[in-house]
Structure 1
Amino acid sequence: MNDIAHVRPRIRHLTSVHRVEDTRILHRECASLVRAGHDVALIAGRPAREPLAGVRVVGVGLPRNRIDRAFRLSWRVFRAARRERADICHFHDPELIWVGLLLKLLGCRVVYDVHEDVPLQIMNKWWIPWYARRFLAWGAAVAEWIGGRAFDAIVAATPTIAEKFPVAKTVVVQNFPEAEIAQRPEPVPVEERRYAFAYVGGLKAVQGAREIPEVAAALPEGARAVVAGWFDDEAVERDARSSEGWPRVDYLGGVAHERAIEAIRDAVCGIVVDHPISNYLDSYSTKMFEYMACAVPVVCSDFPLWVRLVGDADCGITVDPMDPRAAAAAIEKLLTDPDEARRLGANGRRAILERYNWETEFAKLDALYPRLV
């Protein structure tokens, strides 16, 4: 038998839009692949960086604006992928579909990681003029249809997204938290936690950035909240900071993933008050599962999908996301009944260990690459 050395393919993850520290891209996919022994680097639209989470980062610079990001920066991402002599390019942004097609023509294996329902996402982008949204959404749908047939594989973040792509080449890899988080010792007793609720993640208007401080304002005297994440709009940030409840919020800003987990574990519950827009109604919220992994109850929007998930796991309370007083009432119920908070938190933790964990999802990603080469 010939003694042929097995050479692992060079895998390069590409993003021009997401932050280098993105939980799904860096901490889950890339870091997990490195630990599994793959040759992996992350090419990102950021300045050159030292390795993060054990992952080599190839920075290609910052964009000047959205147009610059879509063209000049995307071209730099393409050139970096060529310099890296990547065998497999796994990209994460619809803006890079044209880059993926070029790389495919040049002989690279290409994977498109679809985080969102892009046409629906475009229809909900406030900064795009209303008369242009439908046309751009149609263009995105056509681009994804072409990419779905040209690329070697599609990685979909949810089953709903997967339905839009060819079944034979689509793998669903959901953005669930690591089981290790749920395996940690129990957080401090509910009665000793510093915060009534925690929120981690993006701070967009449609993610409840204005409602979150209003929830804090409606809580009993002395109750405080902790918030970790980035505002994407100055007007939204200005409104949140001028809210009556903002002095009762400990705002951490954008912090490392581990620091966000610590904040969650020091809260009685975690909240997700995404607005009922089409892009959210049929998708899961990553932060909801992180709250469950940290053994804290979830207080979340009463979308039918989320109502079923929370009900099946018996891990929280669903509320009208547009009514801050309803969310505050649910949190107050948990504050006054710590035994119930403990029970719901334990149920959520159990669901993560048994069903909703990254290790199960990563096995599907790890098995994908060998099939491509």
Structure 2
Amino acid sequence: MKRKVVHLTTTHARNEVRVFLKECTSLSVAGYDVYLIVADGLGPDTTSSGVHRLDIGKQSGRIQRMLIQPWRMLRAAFKIRADVYHLHEPELLLIALPLKWSGAKVVYDSHEDTPRAILSRDWINPFLRKLVSSTFELFENFVTCRISAVVGATPHISLRFSKINKQTVTVNNYPLQSELPDFEIPLRINRSLCYIGSISKSRGVFEMINAVDPLDAQLILAGWFESEQVELNAKKLNGWSKIDYRGTVNRSEVHEIMSRSSIGLVIFHPEPNHVNAQPNKLFEYMSARLPIIASDFPLWREVIEGNDCGICVNPMNPSAISEAINLLLTNPERVKKFGDNGYRAVQEKYNWGIEEQKLLTLYNELTK
């Protein structure tokens, strides 16, 4: 009989890349009976790629999502009676132990270093952030040392959890091999660059807009603004006239944007949760043969300069970003070289095929 697996997420879309396209789909193909409980309010319940998707409905407001949705998730999860429950948000740790007490295995998938991320959350009073961060870390450690396993999205995240849970594994968020282009891309001669993802002050939206302002270039911006105020302030900048804003886009639109661009940008601010992160967009740009201009963090420099696939810059300096953009736009041969090198690195080491095996090995251990 197939082992039942339930993945739970309160914030991710039902088609989200890591949760659905990678982890859930890989487990389904491997023979598990996979359920994905979401809270996007899009219903009805569906089955896609062998994964049964259930919607508990959307809650308005951050506090309601954090304090009410986990318990609604718990009720839906108990109805399935799974062998393994896999949690994708920090607030779902509230229900981790009740799920464990049901006799099931429980896995926490830590997508980011949440205690450090809290230190830069604008919606938390600056005077309270350290207290909230340290309190949450105590809670997170208390729960995760008592559950079956922890999955870290980066080696940095896994290192912290490995000290309190021996069954900790790194499953990097690398690109799907099925999405790698299997054809040679000629010299890119257009003057478009792109940023795809969550749009916020800390992810460099103002620096990117200011950097493109003096250039004969266009920045394709795709994703959701973290707040109405950030969007309003961004649109007030002179450089907004150089922006092609697409809003939230689907996977096919992501590929269309990258195919139309000559450069991919990842200009995150040097905040505690960023310097050791491995943004999925970094590797997606590489998989699309796009050269990268990214923040000059040691870990990112190791990937980008180590594979000779882009340029690292001071993310707080729009002039330095602008110079790097201009350097590439005026040198198509270097753009092609960087793009080909990045693509080769994804083929050889930064791909989901390698990470998938780590996930399946963990599940084999949990369900044997």
Q: TM-score range by the shorter chain?
A: over 0.9
**1:320 aligns to 2:318 (yes or no):** no
Match of 1:60 among 53, 56, 60: 56
Report the Cα distance in structure 1 between the residues aligned to 2:255 and 2:45, rounded to whole angstroms: 23
| Contact 1:32-1:362 at 8 Å conserved across structures | yes
Farther off after superposition, 180-189 or 239-248? 180-189
CA contact (8 A) 2:208 2:321 kept: no
What per-residue deviation string (whole Å, max 9, x for no partner) do you get for residues 146-183 of structure 1?
Answer: 22221111100111111112363001000011123334
CA distance in structure 1 between the partners assigned to 2:47 and 2:314 by the alignment:
38
Which SS does the other structure have where 1:126 is aligned? coil
* 1:127 Cα deviation after fit: 1.1
1:284 aligned to which of 278, 284, 300: 278
Q: Is the 8 A contact 1:26 1:53 kept in 2?
A: no
What is the distance in 2 between the residues matched to 1:217 and 1:367? Answer: 49
Match of 2:242 among 239, 243, 248: 248
User: 1:95 corresponds to which residue?
Assistant: 91
Instruction: Tell me the SS of whatever aligns to 1:97.
Output: helix
The alignment's TM-score, normalised by the length of structure 1, stands at 0.93
Structure 2 counterpart SS, 1:281: coil
User: Equivalent residue of 2:141, what SS?
Assistant: helix
Instruction: Tell me how far apart the structure 1 counterparts of residues 58 and 184 of structure 2 sit (CA, whole Å).
Output: 41
Shift in CA distance, 255/242, structure 1 to aligned 2, threshold 3 Å: same
1:304 partnered with 2:298: yes
| Paired amino acid for 1:371 | E
Residue 74 (structure 1) aligns with: 70
| Cα distance change of structure 1 residues 252 and 51 upon mapping to structure 2, 3 Å threshold | farther
Instruction: Report the 3-state secondary structure (helix = DSSP H, G, I; strand = E; otherwise coil) of the residue aligned with 2:15.
Output: coil
Task: Give the distance between the partners of 1:352 and 1:17, measured in 2 at CA.
Answer: 28
Q: Note the 1:98-177 alignment, pairs <5 A.
A: 98-166=94-162, 168-177=166-175
Aligned residue in 2 for 1:19 = 13
Offset of residue 130 of structure 1: 2.1
The RMSD of aligned alpha carbons is 1.6
| Aligned pairs, number | 363
Query: After alignment, is 35-44 or 292-301 more displaced?
Result: 35-44
Q: Does 1:270 align with 2:270?
A: no
Alignment of 1:231-246 (within 5 A): 231-246=225-240
Name the counterpart of 2:27. Answer: 33
Greater CA drift, 24-33 or 357-366: 24-33
TM-score (norm 2): 0.94
**Structure 1 counterpart of 2:132, which letter?**
L
Q: How does 1:168-187 map to 2 (within 5 A)?
A: 168-187=166-185
Distance 1:49 1:301, change over 3 A: farther
- How big is the shift at 1:51? 3.9
Structure 1 runs not aligned, ≥5 long: 1-6
Deviations 1:47-76 (A, max 9, x none): 124547533321111112111112221111
Tell me which amino acid in the other structure corresponds to 2:18: R
The change in CA–CA distance for 1:344 and 1:242 in structure 2 (over 3 A counts) is same
Q: Do the aligned partners of residues 312 and 17 (structure 1) sit closer, same or farther apart at CA in structure 2, a change above 3 Å counting? A: same
Match of 1:342 in 2: 336
Task: Confirm whether residue 201 of structure 1 aligns to residue 197 of structure 2.
Answer: yes
Q: CA deviation at 1:322?
A: 1.3
Shift of 1:213: 2.0
Residue 92 of structure 1: CA displacement? 0.7
Corresponding residue for 1:45?
39
Cα distance in 2 for partners of 1:293, 1:142 equals: 38
Distance in 2, Cα, partners of 1:230 & 1:91: 24
Structure 2 residue runs of 5 or longer lacking an equivalent are none
